[in-house]
Structure 1
Amino acid sequence: MSGRIGKRPAALAALAAAVSLACTVLTVAAGGSWASDMAPFACRVDYTTNDWGSGFGATATISNLGSSAIDGWTLTYTYAGNQTLQHGWSGNWSQSGKQVTVTSMSWNSSVPAGGSVSTGANFSYSGSNAKPTDFAVNGAACTGTVPPTTTTTTTPPGSGPAPALRVSGNKIVSADGRPYRLLGVSRSSGEFACVQGKGMWDSGPVDQASVDAMKTWNIHAVRIPLNEECWLGVNGSPGGAAYRQAVKDYVDLLVANGINVILDLHWTWGAYSNGPDWHCKDEHAVCQKPMPDAKYAPQFWTGVATAFKGNDAVVFDLFNEPYPEIASDWNKTLGWQCWRDGGTCTGLPYETAGMQDLVDAVRSTGATNILMLGGLEWANDMREWLAHKPTDPLNNIAASWHAYSNNACASETCWDSQIAPLTQQAPVVLGEFGQDNCGFDYMQRLVDWADSHRLSYLAWTWNPWGCSTGAVLIKDWNGTPEPGVGEGLKAHLLTQNPY
C-alpha cells in the first residue's frame, strides 16, 4: 500500500500486566474425553492484558511443563468485576456470569511436552480490572506455587547490530536459533518520491536522529518500499547508482542500530490499460500493479540481492500486494497460477514474473536472505499460499500477509480459519496493517491476535502526512505519535520483545 488509508481523537493507552500460575492437572485423552487414570502433568498459565480504560485485550498462554503431550484443553477462570466478553480468537470463548471458559480448536488442541498454546479475547468493563487468580485447565485448579509477577522486558534497538535471520520450520530465528519477531513499521517514500519529483525520501530525514526517534517506540524492524525503475535507472530521479547508494546507506544505518530491514518491491513497470477505472494505467513504475513484470523485476531482484547478500539482517519482500485475479474476473485458480508461475496471465497485457522467477533471481546470486511472499487480493488472501509456495533450495521463505480493516479477511473468525493454520506450517509476517480511520481499535484486536500466535508485524506508515483517513502513525519526524493510532501502536510496541 502507498497512501492507503483517518481521525479519531481518543488515544488508547496500552497497559501490560502479567501473572503466571503453576498448576497440575489431569491429562485429557485423544478426542477430549477424561482419563482420570492417566498421569497428571504440570502446566503454567500466563495471563497478560492490554487495557485502554473501558475495555482490554486478554491473552492466556498455557504451557505444558510435563513430559508428555496433551490432546484437548479447556481453560476456566473467573473475574471479580463486571468484565464482559466481546469476542475471542484461537479458542472457543464463552462466559457465564463471571466465569470464562475457553476450549481448544482443532488446529491447536495438541500441546507437546515443553510447548505452549495461546488464546485471546477482548472484553469491556468499568471500574476495577483485577487479574484472575483461579485458572484451571481440564477441570483441575492451578494449585501450585505462584511465582512473582513478571513484566514484559524489551531489548532496546541500538544495543548492537540487527541479528542475522533465517527460517526454521514455522518460525523466523536468529543465528543462535532463538525465535525472533520482526516488530515495527513501514517507512514509505522510496517507492514514489523519485518518480514524483520529491527527491529520494520525500524530504524526510534518514539520519541518526530519525532512527533514534524510531527507537523510542521500541521499533526493531523497518520495511522500506522501493521502485524498480529508479533502482535500475530506467525512470525517475534520483535513479540508478544514486538511488541504490541512498538505499544502501539507509539500510546500513538501520542495521547498525539494531533494526532489521525489509526491502519491498512496491511500484513496478507494466501497462494495464484494460484494467478497472480506478486502476493506474501508466506503464511506468508510478503506481501499484497487479503483478511484477518479467521485463525489469527479476533484474531488480538480482541487483538488490547482489547488493545485500551476506547481510542476513536484511529480508526481501518480493512483491508488495499481488492481485492478478482481478484481470481474470476474480478467478482465484488462474490468479494463483499466475502468482507462482508468471508468464502470460489472463487479462494482463504484459509478461509477468511469477514468485518462482523472483525466488530464482535472488538465489542465483548466492544470497541467502529470508524471502517474504504476499498472497492474492492485495496479500490478504493466503488460503492457497502453501499449495503454491515456490521452490526455494534454502527453504528460507516466509508468508507476507496484509490485513487492513477494509480487507475481506478482517475479523478474528477469518484469522482463525485462514491464517492460524498457515502459522503452523510457515512463518507469517503481517507485512502491512492499519485501519480506515485514525483509531486503534481494529489494530489493537489484530496485534493482540498476532501476539497470541507469535507473528511478526509492521504497521503502515512512519510518515507525518496528517492522519485524516487512517494509516499514518506520526505527526512529525521526531516520532510524535498521532492520537489514537500512533499512541496506541507506540504503547503496544513498548510492551513487546522480538525474542
Structure 2
Amino acid sequence: MLLAAVGVLVAGTAQAAAGCAVTYQVSSQWQGGFGANVSVTNLGDAINGWRLTWTFPAGQRVTQAWNATVTAAGDDVTAANVGYNAAIATNASVSFGFNGSWSGTNPSPTSFALNGVACTGGVGPTTVPPTSTPPTTPPPTTPPPTTPPPAGDAMAAVAAMQPGWNLGNSLDAVGADETAWGNPRITEALLDNVKAQGFKSVRIPVTWSAHLGSAPNYPIEAAYLNRVKEVVDWALADDLYVMINIHHDSWQWINTMPTDRTTVLAKYNAIWTQLASTFRGSSPKLVFESVNEPQFTGSSGDAQNATLLAELNTSFHRIVRASGGNNATRLLVLPTLHTSSEQARIDELVATFNALNDRNLIATVHYYGYWPFSVNVAGGTHFDATTQKDLTDSFDRVYDAFVAKGIPVIVGEYGLLGFDRHTGTIEQGEKLKFFEYFGHYARARKLTTMLWDNGQHLGRTSFQWSDPELIAQIKSSWTTRSGTASSDLVFNSKSSAISAKTLTLNLNGTTFQGLRQGSTDLVQGTDYTVSGSQLTLTAAALTRLTGSRAYGVNATLHARFSAGVPWRINIITYDRPVLGNATGTTSAFTIPTQFRGDQLATMEAKYADGSNAGPHDWTSFKEFDVTFQPDYTGNSIALTSDFFAAVTDNAPVTLTFHFWSGEKVTYKVTRSGSTVTGTTA
C-alpha cells in the first residue's frame, strides 16, 4: 500500500522555505499486526532536527520502531530523528520503519506534517516555526553509512578474518557464570595465544538469558555486560576481528516466538539495543551476529519460520544501524534458519538481504559434515564420495547464492558432531582427510571458517592442542593442500606370514616425495614401490618394521609430499579380537574384549528375524559412543543404557563388531527386564 502526500503551507513569521513529501508503505501485514516503512523528503531548505506527525484513522498503534524515536498520544503519532539522521538537505530523504497493531481495518494515514508543516508536495517562501522546538542533536562524529557502502569492503574484511576460532562453552554457558560448563575463566593470555596460533578472528558466543532484568526494558546485568566487554576488548587489543552474538537464548526463549512473539521480540530488541549502545564506539573489527542457530517451536511450518527469522534479522539490523557511531557501518552477520545450508533456507536469507540492501552484511551457516560420518552412525566410517559431496554441495550453494554476488559468507562453526564426546569417535585418518578437504574447498569457495572449540581442542590454560596432528592438518589447509592416502593403518596378522601391502595415494595436486621413518628415508624399489597412485610396502620392509610382532603399532612411517603436512602410516600387528561371555544390567554392561592390536570401527545390531535392533532402527549400524564404547586400556566394550532402552525385552540381539583390520566378530545379547546376558555367537 503506497500513499504520497504533497503540499505547501505559507505563513509570514519565518524566512525559510519549507515543504515536504511522504511515502507511507505497509510492507507486510498479518492478523493483528503490520509493518510499515516511511520515507520523508525535504523539499525546502535544509533542516537539522525533524519531527514527523500524523494521525492513525482506525486506532492503529506503533509497537516498535527503528531509525526514529516514535511516541504517541492516542491516535496522534510523532516520529523524531535519532542522532545520525537529524540533518535533511534540500531534496534529500530519510527513512524509518515500524511495526504496529490493528484490529478491524488498517487504512493508511492521509496527512503528515514535518516540523509542523503539512506535507503536500509544494514549497512555500516561509514556514511557521513548530510549536515545540525540534531536536538539535548534532550529527554523530562517525558519519552514517553511504547507501549502500562501497562495494567490496565487506568481502575484503571477511577475507581478512580467515581463519577464525570459537571461544565456546564459556560466555555462552547456560548458568550464572562463564565456568558453568567446566571451562576456566577467560584470560587475556588465552586470547594472546589464540592470536599467536595464527587465527585472525575469534567468535565469542554469549548467552544472555541468566543476566537479564525484567520487562519492559530487560536490563543486562552490568557486571556481566562489563565482563563481555572486557573479553571483547582483550581480543580487539590483539588486533583480532571479534564476533559476538545472542547464542543459546535461541533455544531457551527465542524459539517460543511463534506463540509469544511480542515478548520475544521485546526482549530480543532490548538486548540488541543495549549491546549497540555499549559497543557503539568499538573498533570496526567488532562484528555483530544477530542470533546463533535460530529455531522456532510450534510454528505452522517453513513459511512462518522464515517470516519470524526475517523479522529478527531485520529488527537487529535496524536497531544497530540506528544507534550510530561505528554501528552505522559495522559488519553485521545474519544466519539462515538453523544456520543450515539447505537451498530453501538459503533462499529465505537471500530475500532478507535483498530487502535490506546493505553492503555491510555477511551471511553465515554452520557445517559439521555429513551426519552419518560426523557422528559415526549408519556405517559412516569413511570420508568417502558421499561425505565429500555433502561438503561440496553445501559450499557450492552458499557460494552461488552469496559469494558470487559479492556477499561474504562465514562458516561460523565447523567441526564434527562426534567431537562433543571426544575426537576419537571418528578414526584419525578419516578425520584428517575430512579437515584437509574442508579447508581446501572453503578456500576455493572464498569462505571464512571458524573452528568450533568448546575446550576439546586448545587447552584454555595449558595453551596446548589436544590433537597436534589434527591442528597441523587444519593449519596447513588454510594455505595449501596435503597429500593423503586410502588409510593411515596397515595391518599384518600375527597368525599369518607377512605380505606386501598397498595403499592408494590421494595426491590432491601434490607430488609424492618419499617415505620416512623418523629421520631415516626408506629406499624406493627396496622398501616400497610407487606405480601411479599405488604405494606398495614390500614384505621385506614390513618384516623389518614389525620386529618381534607385538600386538599394536610396531612402526610409524610418514609419506611426504611436495606441499602440506606428511601423511602418517601406522604399521600394526593384530589378530582376530576375542570377546568373552558376560552378565550385567541395562545401565552397566561390558563385554570382556581382547582387542589383540585391532581397533573397533562400528557395530551392527539385528534381531533373529533380520530386523534392526537398538536406536536409529532405520539402520543396523549403531552410533559410536552413544550405543557402544570401546575401552582399549580396560579391555572391554561397553553397551550403553541408551542402546538397551531401544531393545525389545527377551528378544536376542546379534551384534556384529567391525574392526579396522577388516575382521568381523559376532556376539549375542539378551535383555530381560534390567538384566543383560551376553554370549559369544
Q: TM-score, normalised by structure 1?
A: 0.51
Flag the 1:274–1:476 CA change in 2: closer, same or farther, 3 A. Answer: closer
Q: Give the C-alpha shift of residue 490 in structure 1.
A: 3.8
- Aligned counterparts, 1:177-256, within 5 A: 180-193=160-173, 195=175, 199=179, 203-233=183-213, 240-256=221-237
Higher strand proportion, which one?
2
| Cα root mean square deviation, aligned | 3.8
Residue 304 of structure 1 corresponds to which residue in structure 2? 275
Letter in 2 for 1:242: A
The verdict on how the C-alpha distance between 1:405 and 1:394 changes in structure 2, with shifts beyond 3 A counting, is closer
Structure 1 residue aligned with 2:437: 445
1:13-32 alignment runs, 5 A limit: none
Q: 8 Å contact 1:220–1:259 — kept in the other structure?
A: yes
Report the CA distance between 1:460 and its aligned residue.
0.2
Deviation, 1:423, is 1.1
Give how far 1:242 is off.
0.7
Q: Measure how far apart 1:231 and its partner are.
A: 4.9
Tell me by how many angstroms 1:391 deviates.
4.4
Aligned to 1:81: none
Secondary structure at the residue paired with 1:449?
Answer: helix
Residues 209/442 of structure 1: CA separation in 2 closer, same or farther (3 Å cut): same
CA deviations over 1:330-370 (Å, ceiling 9, x no partner):
x33332222113xxxxxxxxxxxx21111112122112311
Summarize the Cα distance change of 1:178–1:193 in structure 2 as closer, same or farther, 3 Å threshold. closer
Q: CA deviation at 1:214?
A: 1.0
**TM-score, normalised via structure 2 length:** 0.38
Which ranges in structure 2 are unaligned for 5 or more consecutive residues? 1-147, 373-388, 424-430, 482-681
Alignment partner of 1:319 is 2:283: no
Offset of residue 456 of structure 1: 1.2
Q: Summarize the alignment of residues 399-410 of structure 1 with structure 2, pairs less than 5 Å apart.
A: 399-406=363-370, 410=390
Correspondence 1:480 to 2:464: yes
Q: What is the CA–CA distance in structure 1 between the aligned matches of 2:189 and 2:254, rounded to whole Å?
A: 40
Say whether the 8 Å CA contact 2:206–2:244 is kept in structure 1: yes
Say which SS state the counterpart of residue 319 (structure 1) adopts.
Answer: coil
Paired amino acid for 2:332: L
SS at match of 2:413: strand
- Going from structure 1 to structure 2, the CA distance change for 1:274 and 1:474 (only over 3 Å counts) comes to same
Shift in alpha-carbon separation, 1:193–1:391, aligned structure 2, 3 A = same
Match of 1:172 among 150, 154, 160: 154
Q: Is the 8 A contact 1:226 1:267 kept in 2?
A: yes
* Separation in 2, partners of 1:227, 1:247: 10
Bigger fraction of residues in helix: 2
Q: Offset at 1:392?
A: 4.1
What corresponds to 1:50 in structure 2?
Answer: none
Give the equivalent residue in structure 2 for 1:266: 247
1:454 to 433, 440, 446: 446
Bigger radius of gyration: 2
Secondary structure of the structure 2 residue equivalent to 1:294: helix
Change (3 A) 1:393 1:210: same
- Name the SS of the counterpart of 2:253 in structure 1: coil
State which of 302, 320, 336 in structure 2 corresponds to 1:332. 302
Displacement of 1:433 in angstroms is 0.9
CA distance in structure 2 between the partners assigned to 1:309 and 1:202 by the alignment: 32
**How far 1:241 sits from its partner (Å)?**
0.8
Q: Distance in 1 between matches of 2:434 and 2:306?
A: 29
Checking the alignment, whether the CA contact within 8 Å between 1:167 and 1:397 is kept in structure 2 is no
Q: Would the aligned equivalents of 2:201 and 2:241 in 1 still touch at CA under 8 Å?
A: yes
Residue 377 to residue 410, structure 1, CA distance change in 2 (3 Å): farther
The change in CA–CA distance for 1:490 and 1:225 in structure 2 (over 3 A counts) is same
How many residue pairs end up in the alignment? 293
Against the structure 1 CA distance between its residues 291 and 203, is the aligned structure 2 distance closer, same or farther, given a 3 Å change threshold?
A: farther
Identity in percent: 20
Whether the 8 Å contact between 1:185 and 1:460 is mirrored in structure 2 is: yes
Superposition pairs for residues 34-433 of structure 1, below 5 Å? Answer: 169=151, 172=154, 180-193=160-173, 195=175, 199=179, 203-233=183-213, 240-268=221-249, 270=253, 293-310=264-281, 311-324=283-296, 327-328=298-299, 331-341=301-311, 354-366=312-324, 367-368=327-328, 369-381=330-342, 382-389=346-353, 391-392=355-356, 394-406=358-370, 410-425=390-405, 426-433=407-414
* Contact 1:182–1:260 (CA under 8 A) maintained in structure 2: no
